[in-house]
Amino acid sequence: MITLEELNAKTWLREKFREYYAKEGVEPPPMIWQREFGVGNEKKIDYRHMSFRDDKELLGYLRSTTPLYISYSAGYYKFPSATPMEKKGMLGADLIFDFDLGDISDTCSSGFPTVECLGLVKNEVVKLIEEFLIPDFGFSKDDILVFFSGSKGYHIHIRNDLVFDLDQRARKELVDYVSAAGMNVRFFLRREGKSLHGPLPSSNGWGGRLAKELVKVISEYPPEKARNILGVSKSVFQKISTRRGELVDGMNRGLWDLVPVSMATWEVMLSSLALRLGVKLDRNVTIDMSRLIRLPTSLHGSSGLLVERVKNLDKFNPLEDAIVFGRKYIRLHVKRNLEFYLGGEQKIEAGEVELPEFVAVYIVAKGEGEPIGEL
Amino acid sequence: MDFKNDLDELRFSVKYPFTSVAKGLVRRMNIDLKSNDPEIVEVIDTAKKRIKEDLRGGVILDPRQKLTRALEIQLLSYPVARILVALSRNNFMKKRFAEGESNTMRKFLMGAPDEEVAYLLPELGIKAEGGSIHFKDYIMFMPDDEQYRLFYQSISSGYVSINRDLIVEIMTSAYRRHILDTLSNYPSDFEFLKKELPDIQIKRFERFEYTGKANADAFPPCMKNLLAEAAAGEHLGHSARFAIAAFLVNVGYPIDKIVDVFKNQPNFKEKLTRYHVEYIAGKKDGKKRLPPSCEKMKTYALCVNPDALCSRVKNPLSYYKVKMRNKRGRG
C-alpha cells in the first residue's frame, strides 16, 4: 500500500519534472517512430508497448502526463506498439552497454551513490572504450555515445549501420569478448612437440592483452601485490618470481615454458588476469535486443538527475554535472539523518528542514523525505 | 577477376553461380523458360536434380567439363533451382537447399587459389583487408565450436586475422545466409513453373507426434521456439540442443521422440544424438540433467519472447509446471 505521504511526495516530484520538461524539453532519439517506449511511476516500467509518432508527441506527453521514469527501446520496429513482442517486427537495434554500481562492487551497491563508487563505474566505461571499442573493434569516438544513467551508472549507445543488424548471438559474442565471460584461457596456449607456445605481449586481442599484463605484473609490481593479482600460492609464486627474467624472455618469443609452470597454474594466473582486465557490466542488456533503456536527456525518478550525454568523461562528475534543479529553498520533512554528496557534501538532520530545490528533489526521489505545504 | 577466355569465365560461373560474373552470363544467355526448347527442358530437369542433390548435402558439378553447352546447363540450373525452391514456400526445403549449395561452394573454395577467395569475399558481402575480415562478418558467421570464439582470435582496428580454412567456413555460412535471405521473396513471374514442384516435394519429418501426458501448449516460449527451429531444420548450437533435450527429458518425452526432434538438423547422426539424449536422461549414471536456468538461457541468447510468467520463474521447467498446475486447476 502506498501511503498518503508517498503519494504526496510523488505528485510533488512529478510537478517538478513537469516544470523541467516545460522549460527544457528532451532530445528525442533518432527514428523515434520506430521505437517502443515504457513509462513508470510506481516501478521503473509500469506500462510499455507505447510509441510516439514524432518529437512533438513525445514532448507533449512528457509535459502533460509526466511519468517519473521513461525508457525507450534500443530496437527499431515496424510496429513498435504491437503486442506480443514478435508482432512488432524488429528491424534492427542499437548496441548498448550498461554499467551499474551493483555490477562493480558490493560495498557500492547500497545506500546513496558516492563520488568514489561512481568513479569506479566510470573506470569500467573508460576501459570499455579505450581498451576494447576503439583499438580492437575500430569504432571511432564519434560512434560511441556515453550517457549517465541518471542514477547509479552509465549507458553506452552505439547507433550505426554496422551494429544495426547484429543478431542476438553476435551481440552476445561482443559482450562476452569485452567482459571475458565464458573465456577458457587454455585456448591461448598450445603444445607443439615438447614446448608450450603462447601469445606474445605484442599480439593483438586478448592473447596479447593477457601476455602483456602478465609480464607487467611479474616484472613491475611488488611481490605480494603481484601474487594476489595472479591468485597463486606462495611457493608457486616464489618459483616464478626468482626466474622471472627467463620467463619474460621466453614469453617475448612466444615460448611459455622456459620456466616449468604447470598448465593448472597458467590457467589460474591467466583467468585471474582475464577477470581483472575484462569490463564489468550487465551483459543481459547488450544481449536482449528488446530491452528498454532510460531515455537520454530525461529525468530519473529515483534521483531527479538528468540522463545526460557525457561529452568529457574524464572531467564528468554526475553528482555535480547531472543536477538540473535550482537553489530555491523548499521546506521538507526528512525521515532520518542523511550524509551524502550532491553538488557538495550534504549533511542533513532528520525532521523539518529547508533545503535547496535540487537537494530536496534528490531526497524526495530517494524516498527519504516529503515536501511540506508547497502543494 | 581476369579470365583467360570465355570457357574459363563459364567454368568459374558454374562453380560460383552467385557472383556478378555468373549473373551477367546468365543474363546474356537470355533464355525463355516458357519455351519447349529441348535445352530448356534439360535445364529444368537439371535444376530439379540439383535440388534433390542439395537436399542430400551438396551438388555434383563438373566445371572441368569441356562442352560449353553442358557447362551452360549446369550454370542455368542454379537460378532455375532457386526459383523452384522459392516457389515451394517450404522453409525446410529452403534451408536444406541453402545448406547444400553452400557446401558445394565450400568444396570449390578449399582448392581455390588465394586471389579467387579474395575476389569472392566482397561478392558475398564480406568486408576483408589482406588476410583479415571485419569483426562484424566474423561474429555473424563464425562456426559454433568453442575454439572459434572471438576471444581467441587476433583482432585489431575492427579486423580479425584468420587462416584460410576459417575464411572458407565464414564464406560458406555467409553464403548460406545470403541464399536464405534472398529466397524469401515469392517469384510470382514464374508461377508457370509450379507444375514442376511435385517432382521435388520432399517428405519432412513430422513434428511433435508425441501425445503422451506432456502438453506442448504449456511449454515456455524459449522451448517452443527451439522446437520450431529444430522442426524447421535450423541449425542449433550445443547449448540449444542441450536445453531442449534436457527440457523434454524432464517433461516426460520418451527418448525416441526426443531423438526425432533433431532429425531435421543438417548434420543429424542418429546414434550420436541418441547417445547424448540418453546421457542427459541419466541412463548412464542415473542423474537426470535439468535444463539451464532462465538466467543461463538469457546469457546463451536462447531466451526469446519471454512473457509475464517467465519473469516469475527461475527455470523453463518451473514455467511448464506452473502452467500445467493452472490448467489442471481450471479443468
- Is the predicted pLDDT of residue A7 greater than 80, yes or no? no
Segment A16-64, tens digit of pLDDT: 999 999 999 999 999 999 999 999 998 899 999 999 999 999 999 999 9
pLDDT at B205 exceeding the cut of 60: no
Pick from A307-321, B133-147, B201-215: least confident: B201-215
Nearest to A288 among B139, B298, B307 (CB): B298
The answer on pLDDT for A193 being more than 90 is no
Cβ distance of B158 and A203 shorter than 8 Å:
no
A26: exposed, middle or buried (C-beta count within 10 Å: 0-12, 13-18, 19+)?
buried
Inform me whether the pLDDT recorded for B170 exceeds 90. yes
**In CATH terms, are A4-179+281-321 and A185-277 the same topology?**
no
Name the residue ranges covered by the structural domains of chain A: 4-179+281-321, 185-277, 329-374
Greatest Cα-to-Cα distance within chain A, rounded to the nearest angstrom = 82
Pick the CATH number of A4-179+281-321 from 3.90.920.10, 1.10.287.1080, 3.40.50.720, 3.40.50.150: 3.90.920.10
Within 10 angstroms of residue A368's Cβ, the number of other Cβ atoms is 19
Chain B residues touching residue A205 (CB < 8 angstroms): 151, 153-156
- pLDDT at position B232 is 79
Contact A205, B135 (CB under 8 A): no
Q: Is the pLDDT of residue B228 over 60?
A: yes
| Region B156-161 average pLDDT | 96
pLDDT tens by residue, A155-186:
999 998 999 999 999 999 999 999 999 999 99
Confidence at residue B209, expressed as pLDDT on a 0 to 100 scale:
43
Q: Which of A94, A98, A143, A257 is catalytic?
A: A98
Question: Which among B136, B151, B301 is the nearest to A206, CB-wise?
Answer: B151
Confidence of residue B210 (pLDDT cuts 50, 70, 90): very low
| Torsion angle defined by CA atoms of residues A188, A192, A196 and A200, in that order, rounded to the nearest 10 degrees | -50
* B68 touching chain A per CB within 8 A: no
Determine the pLDDT at residue B308.
83
Classified as helix, coil or strand, A193 is: coil
The pLDDT value recorded for residue A153 is: 95
Q: Phi/psi at A146 (nearest 5 deg)?
A: -105, 130
pLDDT higher at B330 or B177: B177
Report pLDDT for B238: 87
Amino acid at A273: L
pLDDT recorded at residue A342: 97
Q: Is A282 a catalytic residue?
A: yes
Q: Residue B212 has what pLDDT? A: 57
Nearest CB to A85; choose among B135, B140, B305: B305
User: What is the number of other CB atoms lying within 10 angstroms of the CB of residue A46?
Assistant: 13
For the stretch B56-74, pLDDT in tens is: 888 889 999 889 999 999 9
Percent of chain A predicted with pLDDT > 70 = 98
| Interface residue B18 vs chain A (CB under 8 A) | no
Chain A closest-CA separation from residue B158 CA (Å): 4
Helix count and strand count (H, E) for chain B: 15, 4
Residues in chain B: 331
How far is Cα B276 from Cα B241, in angstroms, rounded to an integer? 10
Residue A132 DSSP one-character state: I
As a whole number, mean pLDDT of residues A82-104 equals 92
pLDDT, position B329: 63
In single-letter form, the type of residue at position A211 comes to A
pLDDT above 70 (res A77): yes
B210 φ/ψ angles, rounded to the nearest 5 degrees: -65, 125
Cβ partners under 8 Å of residue B80, min gap 6: B33, B43, B44, B46, B47, B193
> How many angstroms away from the CA of B53 is the closest CA of chain A?
31
- The average confidence (pLDDT) of chain A is 94
pLDDT band for position B101 (50/70/90)?
Answer: very high
The catalytically annotated residue of A103, A143, A257, A282 is A282
Decide if A100 is catalytic.
Answer: yes
Residues B290-328: tens digit of each pLDDT: 999 998 888 888 888 888 888 888 899 989 988 888 877
Is it the case that residue A353 has pLDDT exceeding 90?
A: yes
- Whether A375 has a pLDDT exceeding 50, the answer reads no
Q: For the residues A267-286, what does the mean pLDDT come to?
A: 96
- Give the pLDDT confidence score for residue A84 in this predicted structure: 85
Cell representation of residue B19: 557472383
Q: What is the DSSP string of B77-102?
A: HHHHHHHHHHHHT-HHHHHHHHHHHH
Cell of B238: 550445443
Catalytic residue among A100, A103, A143, A257: A100
Mean pLDDT of A60-89: 95
| pLDDT for A2 beyond 80 | no
Tally C-beta pairs within 8 A across A and B.
82
**Does residue A255 carry a pLDDT above 90?**
yes
Question: Residues A220-236: what's their mean pLDDT?
Answer: 94
Residue type, B221: P
CATH number belonging to domain A185-277: 1.10.8
pLDDT at B206 over 70: no
Task: Please tell me what DSSP assigns to residue B291.
Answer: P
SS3 at position A252: coil
Asked whether residue A253 carries a pLDDT value surpassing 90, the answer given is yes
CB contact under 8 A, B301 and A174: no
Residue type, A156: I
